[in-house]
Chain A
Amino acid sequence: MTLQAHIDPDWRDVGAVTDIPERGARRVATAQGDVAVFRTGDGQIFALVDRCPHKHGPLSQGIIHGHGVTCPLHSWVIDLATGQPTGADAGKGCTPVAPVMVKDGRVYLAQPVMAD
């Protein structure tokens, strides 16, 4: 049984789930800029454009807690599932969500990562 047979060609294998530390993130470089791929404490994988809606801080460098990430520049907390700022900053812009999929321990990003 080949893995690729089940994967749509628009999905790109970007590495193993275990390449990302728990409660951590890794960057994926794309033609449209970096995408941050997050692994939460409960083992979920999320992907966002690596750019805070506030001052464009790299979200991949933040601290991950629950299903949120705290931006390293000014501590906005972004919801990993929606890309929306939460708490006092809710409603002030949004980080685009990148489609991501996990299959057999591998992480896949859709190509292109953002609809232009």
Chain B
Amino acid sequence: MSHNKERLVVIGNGMAGCRAVEEVLKRDPSRYDVTIFGAEPRVNYNRIMLSPVLAGEKTFDDIVINDEAWYRDNGITLHAGRAVTAVDLQGRKVVAEGGLEVGYDKLILATGSDPFRLPLPGIDLKGVVTFRDLDDVNAMLEASGKPGARAVVIGGGLLGLEAAYGLARRGMNATVVHLMDVLMERQLDESAGYLLREALAERGVETVLGAHSEEIVGEDGKVAGLKLKDGRVLPCDLLVMAVGIRPNAALGKAAGLQVNRGIIVDDAMRTSDPAVFSVGECVEHRGNCYGLVAPIWDMCRALADELTDGQGGYEGSVLSTRLKVSGVDVFSAGKFAGGDGCEDIVFRDAARGVYKRVVIEDGKVAGAVLFGDAADGGWYFDLMRAGTDVAEIRETLIFGQAITEGLSGLDPSAAVAAMPDTQEICGCNGVCKGAITSAITSHGLTTLDDVRAVTKASASCGSCTPLVEQVIRLTLGDGFKAQTGPKPMCKCTHHPHGEVRKAIVEFELKSMPAVFQTMEWTTPDGCASCRPALNYYLLCAWPGEYVDDSQSRFINERVHANIQKDGTYSVVPRMWGGMTTPDELRAIADVADKYDIPSVKVTGGQRIDLLGVKKDDLPAVWADLNKAGMVSGHAYAKGLRTVKTCVGSDWCRFGTQDSTGLGIKLEKFMWGSWAPAKVKLAVSGCPRNCAESTCKDIGVICVDSGYEIHIGGAAGLHIQGTELLTKVATEQEAIELISAVMQMYREGGWYLERIYKWMARVGLDTIRTATVDDLDNRAALFARFVKSQETAQIDPWAERASGGVAAGEFTPMATLPLEMAAE
């Protein structure tokens, strides 16, 4: 060791410390005498590859970066397993365990980070580990050796998921407990999070979201389970805490360096002491601490420049993330979730389980999240970091680098014309250009639908539809017929309502993200047109199981009142069959007085409307009406509204049956049911039809010998008389048949399609066959309606009046003091 060399001491034998030395040696191999201190008793290894070691996909030897020969060949003195206990900035020396002192000219602190441990009761039990170093991995492997052993991992971030996956691969039952509702929420949006959850479940990793950990339960000093705040206990033999990391700045702080969250460094990686530098996860640079590997490499390069007479200029890092779980391709970078002034381009391919979202801001890529096919992650990341203007390639950007660069510089039709016959047009179904052109000529196809039917091109996700149309146009010239056929639900999808409804049942889609992915929605969370429809379709398909999403409901259904032009609401209590009592009327009058309600009106549906109620007053108004025995009239609902009646045989000299009684029975049986659109019923006691049954969605006309059931009337935008469905003999049969028709409409109608339109579409005969002729089918429809009603008949007013549901809906979030705004 010659003494004219400067002495470079590195504290930390991890990825940052060793990479810094490598970078220095690359620039000037003979400048420094290098000494490295490492707390772990082993050579430098690639910590980020611990996950594959845990999963058994790699061995420790595979992940060693620098073996002993490297230290020897480069003349580096390694003190492994020897922690540095103090740094003497004045005397420019470090003190290690055992009293070893080493002087330095330049010092690098690369002390990394510590895993964060939640301060839960039971944290010190045996079997509670973090996921940071090889010792942790060994502890996990030991636990996984026991047959049937169970592991709980707290933390649904990158590290926690990789740990859980590794443990599942080792044969353990692994469950991830995550505080948030989306896995890896700092890297993934809801759609990608949903796919990830499904992919993990397929790989034996269960996930519990929105879970607050309360206590680690022990038995004989050993972990036995994790108790959650909601009382659930998840039994386990191993508990891995992977909730994040904290910069390890203790040594720097004790030495007197400037430390905030981490050791503060400038752009040259220099700390507050000019001879001391720092890199890696222990560092705080421009207010940021990093926990990923790419920024560490950036820092090491800047540091090495500085230490070898260059200009060290680290300006912070733009981050990207990849998850290391075999077969689950996940990439995330930048503003993946969008933000102010950002636009989204979304691509979904359900057949391949692909979701891509590229976020554009000011004509540049600002972020991306890719699931299932992350091959273009690097390309998007490069575009993002380079700040490339992507306006020119916007059309094809989402399809990736190959397609985009293959088409650049050409106008779309020229680009399509220039494509070779072997160029794949439809990635979902593997259809190339030549297959489309030859199908067009050999089958004489003229429309997009024809081409779809014969070749399947653009028949899955539809994103290549413009390309396919271009091919048809090029092949046929003016012979091309533009698209007709069922209209898509909305601009978020190319699927019509019927297909979506069918898929929900067929593929057992039980959540909105599931529909968005499987049906390849092109927007991240739908629009005001498709979301209410999907919410209804899911509710109808999975009664009691699907949780209603109030934010996907139109305001009237969200607050259970009708919004008026001035932003106030109208309130209509139910009056069964149009019957009321003096007590109810008194209660309504009292409410109108008490809350200063400006208008009280009798409606066409035989009840009373209180108009002009302030939103803040709604819960109190409802509470008062509830007290008098009244419930919501659902005057706002896409669902059962009123059952209008005449007085029938009770009073009327012409009445043939108890029409009022039947109306009340129908209303009591059917209230609360949601439907594609509003449903109004009426029961008239004789053919004079005083209840106007023949312009209702479903109407009953009582005759001497029984009950005529009419359907498909309307008296709104369109005036239409009903059609006679059939005649039945008894009240019970009438109720069953009407419920069955209602259920058939509920299951088959398109959102906002009234019964008369549904009937025009499917045909009266179809409805008659299904509900009148086929008695088994009628019984099955009736049974499904009954099942659906089990969870539907809860008075929404009572729930909200008590403050139990949607408490925040009816009060301002805050009231800013009036004097503050006075100027």
Contacts and interface: CB of A to CB of B under 8 A. Distances in A.
Interface of A: 12-15, 19-24, 26-32, 34, 37, 41-44, 46, 55-58, 61-68, 70, 72-73, 75, 77, 81-82, 107, 109, 111-113, 116
Interface stretch (B1-9, B306-314, B452-460, B810-818): B810-818
B361 to A, nearest CB: 11
A31 B813 contact: no
Contacts of A26: 808, 812-813
Contacts of B550: 21, 24
B339 A44 contact: yes
Given A28-B816, A41-B525, 4 more contacts: A20-B808, A23-B525, A62-B555, A66-B527
A6 to B, nearest CB: 12
Contact of B818 (A21, A31, A34, A82): A31
Contact of B816 (A65, A68, A111): A111
Contact of B567 (A15, A43, A58): A58
Contact of A31 (B342, B814, B820): B820
Contacts of A55: 565
B339 A63 contact: no
B338 interface: yes
A-B CB proximity, top 9 nearest: A70-B528, A42-B337, A26-B813, A31-B821, A14-B814, A63-B528, A41-B525, A23-B551, A61-B555
A34 B823 CA distance: 18
B583 interface: no
A29 B820 contact: no
Given A12-B816, A44-B337, A73-B563, A66 B555 contact: no
A70 B551 CA distance: 12
B554 A32 contact: no
Contacts, number: 125
Given A41-B190, A61-B563, A116-B823, A31 B816 contact: yes
Contact of B337 (A30, A43, A107): A43
B604 interface: no
12 contacts: A22-B551, A26-B813, A30-B815, A41-B189, A41-B524, A44-B339, A46-B340, A63-B552, A63-B553, A63-B554, A65-B528, A82-B341
Interface in B765-818: 808, 812-816, 818
Given A32-B821, A65-B528, A44 B813 contact: no
B525 A28 contact: no
Contacts of B559: 61
B822 interface: yes
Main secondary structure of the interface of A (DSSP, over half): loop
B532 interface: yes
Nearest to B491: A87
B531 interface: yes
A32 to B, nearest CB: 6
Nearest to B559: A61
B588 to A, nearest CB: 25
Contacts of A70: 527-528
B166 interface: no
A32 B526 CA distance: 33
Interface residues of B, number: 40
A58 B565 CA distance: 10
Contact of B338 (A65, A67, A77): A67
Contacts of B821: 30-32, 111-113
A41 B492 CA distance: 16
Nearest to A36: B813
B284 interface: no
Given A31-B816, A65-B523, A112 B528 contact: no
Given A55-B565, A81-B341, A72 B555 contact: yes
A57 B567 contact: yes
B338 A21 contact: no
A28 B338 contact: no
B240 to A, nearest CB: 27
Contact of B551 (A63, A67, A68): A63
A7 to B, nearest CB: 15
A31 B815 CA distance: 9
Contacts of A19: 808, 813
Interface in B556-611: 556, 558-559, 563, 565, 567
Contacts of B558: 61
Interface in B503-552: 523-528, 531-532, 550-552
Contacts of B565: 55, 73
Nearest to A55: B565
Interface in B153-177: none
Contacts of A21: 550-551, 808
B528 A28 contact: no
A48 to B, nearest CB: 13
Contacts of A44: 337-340
A30 to B, nearest CB: 4
B482 to A, nearest CB: 21
B23 interface: no
B532 A63 contact: yes
Contacts of A31: 816, 818, 820-822
A68 B553 CA distance: 15
Contact of A77 (B339, B528, B812, B823): B528
Given A28-B812, A62-B555, A72-B554, A42 B528 contact: no
Contacts of B551: 21-24, 63-64
> Which of A32, A37, A42, A77 counts the most B-chain CB atoms under 10 A from its CB?
A42
